[in-house]
Amino acid sequence: MLTLKGQGVSKGLAIGKVFYFDRTPVEIVRREVEDPTAEFARFEAAKASAIDELAALYERAVNTIGEKDAEIFSVHQMMLEDLDYCESIQGMIEGESVNAEFAVDATAELFAGMFASLDDPVMKARATDVRDISRRVIGILTGKRDTLIITEPSIVAADDLTPSETVTLDRSLLLGIVTSGGSANSHTAILSRTMGIPALISVQGLDETVHGRQAIIDSATGALYVEPDEETQTAFHARLEEFERQQILLHGLVGQDNVTLDGRRIDVFANIGSPADVPLVHKNDAGGVGLFRSEFLYLESTDYPTEESQYQAYKTVLEQMQGKKVVIRTLDIGADKQIGYFNLPKEENPALGFRAIRICLSRPEVFKTQLRALLRASVHGKLAVMFPMITSKSEVDEIKSIVAEVKDELKARGQAYSEDVEFGIMIETPAAAVISDVLAKEVDFFSVGTNDLTQYTLAADRQNANLDRFIDTHHEAVLRLIELAAKNIHAQGKWIGICGELGADTSLTRRFLEMGIDELSVSPSKVLEVRNMVRHIDLSKN
């Protein structure tokens, strides 16, 4: 048994096979093999796995992007079965005693060259496909993949994962996440908490040798046990039982109010990243959605999501929330959330750069598409729209005039929207907190993004794992900014919530209640823990 130590960033326990996502580029060298028959069998086994992967991808794609677009995965399966392709590989392995990777790569280039020389554009395009299927087989042969796809229940291990890699993982197969890099408030950590998937970061000594091996994640102790011995497995099952017992106890709070012993109520809402998270919101009895990070719809796509596809996603969430409030945050990309098709410029300091509302105000056509989709969806439930990374009143003025234009466009199109939509902004910058008296006159509500507010107040990059010891998440400067904002916002009769990760920190719940915070929005799995804490607090006593 190998024990690796890291830091748990999403609670829970998991057991399963590790899939290590190795992104070092594959270098294919020609090697002579002693047993060409065994080598060909190695190719045949990799081919069979590739076909299984493609079948799983086809099934998944049919359900998400439809049969027509999913077809490519069945075409790839057929290409892998192609007799000429397989015979060429067999001929090289058995005739020249070369290794399978080399034979596949050489055959791919041979066939791609042939396809590329044809006049028919459909056949020409097959050059890319033959390279693609061969890359998949080589990936299986070498264990080095260039895209992260799991096709069986897996603990995903990697150096680090980008938000788009995490969001496109098939969550029905994802048992846990372990990375050697990462930071507690990166979006990958946040996503794993939202999905309720156990996760460890900063795992020392984690590398590709764990691939394919059985492992246990225990996020409470930050341990990853690779090939756990019997004693560890027994202890794991006992801890799992205890964890489940606690979950059952917490679930006894379903249907109860979030009220202190002395009668102060607070809303406890949930954060989501996709319509697929709504069942978790219901399961944990959240009073609404306090943050729907809409950018994950963009991160899952390979091109700008259309107004129609966004409208469907927002409508689904609003309908499924059955009249409970849903706060949807407009697109917040940039910094760690990079999207290829946006072609964002490379920046020295991306967290201080072109991100969130700055991109939306600079690309009004992208912003307006999202606003149209949101307003159209507003007739299906109780919608609130929130804008990220605000620093000044002039940004809010600009947003308001764009919203007014979009409403006029919808009226001209004869498309309905609700006049009851609330508009709010996030307090994520010290600037917004300091001028919250001014901003409070402009919008209906506020939500504090403590992840960014902390990084900007303490001048400490939330992505940088080396800074963890310098980031005091309870820093008085951050708490005082929240307190100031709450005072200013309440003076204007508006409401203020917290949707950053600090909202789920139950050691601060009392302080937030004392500040008069109206709503805490947390990962679905934290809702009942926060409720439990609220119900044990007596604000009339010290």
Q: Which residues bind ligand PEP (CB under 6 A)?
A: 190, 291, 293, 332, 428, 449-452, 499-500
Check if 360 is active-site: no
Instruction: Output 217 or 520, the one with its CB closest to ligand PEP.
Output: 520
Smallest gap from Cβ 409 to ligand PEP, in A, equals: 28
Smallest gap from Cβ 134 to ligand PEP, in A, equals: 38
What are the two backbone dihedrals, phi and then psi, of residue 156, each rounded to the nearest 5 degrees?
-90, 130
What are the two backbone dihedrals, phi and then psi, of residue 423, each rounded to the nearest 5 degrees?
-115, 135
Task: Tell me which of Mg ion, ligand PEP, none is bound by residue 356, counting a contact when its beta carbon lies within the kind-specific cut-off of 5 to 8 angstroms.
Answer: none
Are 180 and 60 contacting, i.e. CB atoms less than 8 angstroms apart? no
Residue of 76, 187, 360, 380 marked catalytic: 187
From 436, 330, 335, select the one nearest 391 (Cα to Cα).
Answer: 436
Instruction: Output 126 or 293, the one with its CB closest to ligand PEP.
Output: 293
Smallest gap from Cβ 455 to ligand PEP, in A, equals: 8
Are 156 and 150 contacting, i.e. CB atoms less than 8 angstroms apart? yes
Check if 380 is active-site: no
Task: Tell me which of Mg ion, ligand PEP, none is bound by residue 145, counting a contact when its beta carbon lies within the kind-specific cut-off of 5 to 8 angstroms.
Answer: none
Smallest gap from Cβ 452 to Mg ion, in A, equals: 4
Beta bridge partners of 397: none
Instruction: Output 93 or 190, the one with its CB closest to ligand PEP.
Output: 190
Smallest gap from Cβ 524 to ligand PEP, in A, equals: 15
Instruction: Output 190 or 530, the one with its CB closest to ligand PEP.
Output: 190
Task: Tell me which of ligand PEP, Mg ion, none is bound by residue 278, counting a contact when its beta carbon lies within the kind-specific cut-off of 5 to 8 angstroms.
Answer: none
User: What's the maximum distance between 2 C-alpha atoms anywhere in the chain?
Assistant: 86
Task: Tell me which of ligand PEP, Mg ion, none is bound by residue 376, counting a contact when its beta carbon lies within the kind-specific cut-off of 5 to 8 angstroms.
Answer: none
Are 133 and 77 contacting, i.e. CB atoms less than 8 angstroms apart? no
Instruction: Output 92 or 426, the one with its CB closest to ligand PEP.
Output: 426
Give the binding site for Mg ion (CB under 5 A): 428, 449, 452
Instruction: Output 439 or 499, the one with its CB closest to ligand PEP.
Output: 499
Three-state helix/strand/coil letters over 416-456: CCCCCCEEEEEECCHHHHHCHHHHCCCCCEEEECHHHHHHH
Residue of 76, 360, 380, 499 marked catalytic: 499
Task: Tell me which of ligand PEP, Mg ion, none is bound by residue 450, counting a contact when its beta carbon lies within the kind-specific cut-off of 5 to 8 angstroms.
Answer: ligand PEP
Q: How far apart are CA 309 and CA 314, in angstroms?
A: 9
Smallest gap from Cβ 342 to ligand PEP, in A, equals: 17
Place of tokens 């392709």: 85
| Helix ranges, 284-355 (H) | 295-299, 307-320
Q: How far apart are CA 86 and CA 93, in angstroms?
A: 11
Q: How far apart are CA 340 and CA 302, in angstroms?
A: 8
DSSP assigned state of 339: -
Give catalytic residue positions: 187, 499
